[in-house]
A and B are shown apart, each in its own frame.
Chain A
Amino acid sequence: MSLDKSIYKKLSDEELILEFQKENVEAFSELVLRYKDKVVNFLYRYTGDRDEAEDLAQDAFVKLYRSKHLYKEIAKFSTWFYTIAINTARTDSRKKSRYNAMSISDYDPENDKDYEIPADVQSPDEYANAGIENYYIQKAIDSLEESFKQVIILRDIEDMDYEEIAQITGLPLGTVKSRINRGREKLKKILNEIYKA
Chain B
Amino acid sequence: MQEEEQHIDIREKLLNLPKVKAGDDFVNSLQRKINLADGGLNQKKITDEVKESIWVKLFGKKRNPWLIPSLSLTILAVFVVSVYVLNSGNKELVPTMSDFQKKESSSGFTPDIKKPLEDSKDKITNQDIAGEFKLDSKKSDTRSSNVFGRESFDLSPKIQPIQPPVEMERMKLSEPMKTGDIRDESGKSEYKKDGKANQDHEKKVSEETIETQDKSIRGNEFEQKVMQENNKESKDAVESKGVIEKKAKNDMKRAVKTATDSTKIDKKALEKIKEEIQKDK
Contact residues in A for B18 (Cβ distance below 8 Å): 129-130, 134
| Contacting residue for A58 out of B14, B19, B29, CB 8 A | B29
Residue of B nearest to A184 (CB): B7
> Taking the nearest CB of chain B, how far is it from the CB of A53, in angstroms?
7
Contact residues in B for A50 (Cβ distance below 8 Å): 20
Q: How far is the CA of A65 from the CA of B22 in the complex (A)?
A: 18
> B80 in the interface, Cβ–Cβ < 8 Å?
no
Which of A32, A129, A156, A157: most chain B Cβ within 10 A? A156
> B185 in the interface, Cβ–Cβ < 8 Å?
no
Q: Is the CB of A58 within 8 A of B26?
A: yes
- Find residues 87-120 in chain B having any chain A CB closer than 8 Å to their own CB: none
Q: How far is the CA of A54 from the CA of B37 in the complex (A)?
A: 17
Residue of A nearest to B10 (CB): A184
Contact residues in A for B34 (Cβ distance below 8 Å): 61-62, 65
The 8 A CB mask of B14-31 against A (1 = contact, 0 = none) is 110111111100110110
- Find residues 35-83 in chain A having any chain B CB closer than 8 Å to their own CB: 36-37, 40-41, 44-45, 50, 53-54, 57-59, 61-62, 65-66
| Contacting residue for B37 out of A57, A62, A137, A180, CB 8 A | A62
> Taking the nearest CB of chain B, how far is it from the CB of A66, in angstroms?
6
- Find residues 3-57 in chain B having any chain A CB closer than 8 Å to their own CB: 3, 6-7, 10-11, 13-15, 17-23, 26-27, 29-30, 33-34, 37, 41
For chain B, which range describes its interface: under 10, 10 to 19, 20 to 34, or 35 or more residues? 20 to 34
Contact residues in A for B14 (Cβ distance below 8 Å): 137, 152, 156-157
| Contacting residue for B22 out of A57, A130, A134, A181, CB 8 A | A57
Q: How far is the CA of A187 from the CA of B5 in the complex (A)?
A: 15
Q: How far is the CA of A57 from the CA of B33 in the complex (A)?
A: 11
Seed contacts A54-B23, A61-B30, A157-B14; 13 additional CB < 8 Å A-B pairs: A29-B27, A37-B22, A40-B20, A40-B21, A50-B20, A54-B22, A54-B29, A62-B34, A134-B18, A152-B14, A157-B17, A180-B3, A184-B7
Q: Residues of A with Cβ closer than 8 Å to B? A: 29, 32, 36-37, 40-41, 44-45, 50, 53-54, 57-59, 61-62, 65-66, 129-130, 133-134, 137-138, 152, 156-157, 159, 177, 180-181, 184-185, 187-188, 191
Q: Residues of B with Cβ closer than 8 Å to A? A: 3, 6-7, 10-11, 13-15, 17-23, 26-27, 29-30, 33-34, 37, 41
A-B contact pairs, 5 of them (CB 8 A): A41-B20, A58-B30, A66-B41, A133-B13, A138-B17
